[in-house]
Amino acid sequence: MFQVSKRIFLVRPASSQNVILGLLADGKPKSHREIVRASGSSEPAVWQSLRRAWERGLLLRTKKPLYEPEKLFKGRAGVRRNLRSYHLYVLKPKNMNRLEVGGNEYVSFSKRYLDARGGGTKSKAAIIQEYLGENPGRAFYSTQVAEALKEKSVRIADVMSNVRRWEKRGLVYVRGYRSNDRETPFKEGYLLTWIDRGKQRDEALQDAIERTTVTLAKQSSTSPIIERVQRIRDIIIESSKLRDLVAFDFVQNKLECSDAKAEEAVRRALQLYTDLREVKIFDAYRYFYHAPSLTEEDLKAAIGFKENYIRVTKGRANRVGHNWEAAVEWFVDKFTVGAAFREQPHRTAGMDSRRITLHLIKNVGGRRMNAEVDRVWTVTPGIFSPPTTYVLECKWGIVRKSDVDDFLNVLRWSTDFGVDTPEGRQVRQGVTGVFAASAFNPKENVRLGDQTISLASYASRLNTSLLKATDFNEKLRERGCKGGVSIQKVCQSAKAEGEVREILDATWNRPDEAEKILSDVHERNEELYHFERILEQEPKKPSLSTVPPEP
């Protein structure tokens, strides 16, 4: 009987390095991720084994990393798209330290080929962090950082991807254009600056904001939009120091640019400077102020002043008054042969060029140095007849003797139409005043010595013609317009002087349709009438629109 001895053989598992070498024995380059899937080993184990095999001269690795886009599913966060960076590995042939396969160059181990992924050099994140940390008192655009570090292969994408991580940790302050729901970069990129962790958090953040503000100011000479933004800030602060609000139209006139450019500059100014505020009066007119420069009492007073100003300049009485001027002009132009209206450019936007500013040599009725007349035109009857200049003054309402005297005094003391005579200051020869009103006070008489005359006769003696609304209505009746159409209704219905001329042209050409034309205008302008009714009511509390402070 034989006795068989039993031996137990222990088989040692192959090392990760041997497994990797076996997988690469087919000569095909493989990445770290492919080897992990094929071997079933953990990622750290494969990573370390590849590194050791490369250093020992068993493998060759691509000289430069390869890149490919990939999609990663992050659950509720959705799909993220990343740019993956990786290397390929192959077995090293005998006595060969360099190899080219598939257009990629493979090299043996050397320190100059190490990168941050291999753990052998300083990472791009560390390079960027070091650059910002070495300049704690400055702010840089992201493009400036990338340009300064381009020799170290740092790109703009590298800058912002790392900066956003540091921003979440409160290490870096990032500034761009801010709207209600997002932030966009400046033309040169986002502004970046280091937050001093040695200071109190609020103080350090305030210092960072001031550094970016200084950088924006320095950039104004090369960026038109930033230059406008700085100019807007100066205008608003200046007015706020004087306890006044700034209108959007005023800002646009100062910038001397288009509506779109002014709108964009104002929008960005409110985004960049959180101490600038916007207030809407009557929910229609935009004004701006510098919050630290105005107390609550000063702001309320300034808003009240603007409300009163809007009631006077934008209310129904002002609109109808200007419309009356256009109506008188239309009739003069229609029935005066050879009338040549004088025009004058104005700084105030929207002011009619036919409204003329006269220079005075003496103050008249509270007017200092200047006075306005509504129209001036010259008629030349013939080559042998002297021209006559007519100066028009319009008033919507009842005219009294004091109104006529005030108008004549303006003519007398103006440099254009007045002249010194032995009898005193008089209106020049060849100049005739024309006073147009919706009505003249029929009960007002003028006492001249022992004689009492009517206001019309008094004006006639002073070489001044009086035009009444009834005179114009008579012309409309002669044309065939019905009684429901009058010059008063035209002025009350039209939204502006241009529309007055359009209505009168249409009614004159189609008098049988005059009532319908006027009705259509009234229906079209109902929103304007509603706003004017709001102005006549008690003012509502203005709505303040502010930009939320930067975090």
> Phi then psi for 129, rounded to 5 degrees?
-65, -40
Helix (H/G/I), strand (E/B), else coil: 210: helix
What pLDDT is stored for residue 190 in this prediction?
Answer: 87
Whether the Cβ atoms of residue 151 and residue 213 lie closer than 8 Å to each other: no
Provide the residue type at 83 as one letter.
Answer: L
Whether the Cβ atoms of residue 193 and residue 186 lie closer than 8 Å to each other: no
What pLDDT is stored for residue 14 in this prediction?
Answer: 59
What pLDDT is stored for residue 10 in this prediction?
Answer: 44
Whether the Cβ atoms of residue 141 and residue 186 lie closer than 8 Å to each other: yes
Q: Which contacts qualify for 164-173: CB closer than 8 Å, 24 or more apart?
A: 166/129, 170/195, 170/201, 171/195, 171/197, 172/132, 173/205, 173/208, 173/209, 173/212
What pLDDT is stored for residue 350 in this prediction?
Answer: 66
Pairing type for strands 464-468 and 431-440 reads parallel
What pLDDT is stored for residue 67 in this prediction?
Answer: 81
Q: What is the DSSP track for 459-499?
A: HHHTTEEEEEHHHHHHHHHHHT--TT--HHHHHHH-SSHHH
Q: Which two tokens stand for residue 119?
A: 């753990």
What pLDDT is stored for residue 538 in this prediction?
Answer: 58
Say whether pTM exceeds 0.75: no
Provide the residue type at 90 as one letter.
Answer: V
Q: Which domains does the chain have, with CATH numbers?
A: 16-118 (1.10.10.10), 124-220 (1.10.10.10), 316-509 (3.40.1350)
What pLDDT is stored for residue 551 in this prediction?
Answer: 37
Please tell me the distance from the alpha carbon of residue 336 to that of residue 333, in angstroms, as a whole number. Answer: 6
Number of C-beta neighbours around residue 342 at 10 A: 15
Please tell me the distance from the alpha carbon of residue 294 to that of residue 468, in angstroms, as a whole number. Answer: 49
Q: For helices 469-479 and 497-509, what crossing angle results, to 10°?
A: 30
What pLDDT is stored for residue 539 in this prediction?
Answer: 52
Q: Cα 171 to chain center, whole Å? A: 32
pLDDT along the chain (551 residues), means of 10: 46 68 85 86 85 86 84 69 82 84 85 60 78 83 87 83 85 77 77 85 86 74 70 88 88 82 88 88 84 89 82 74 88 85 78 86 84 88 82 84 87 90 88 84 76 81 84 90 88 88 92 90 85 67 47 37
What pLDDT is stored for residue 121 in this prediction?
Answer: 60
Please tell me the distance from the alpha carbon of residue 167 to that of residue 349, in angstroms, as a whole number. Answer: 46
What pLDDT is stored for residue 242 in this prediction?
Answer: 87
> Phi then psi for 528, rounded to 5 degrees?
-65, -45
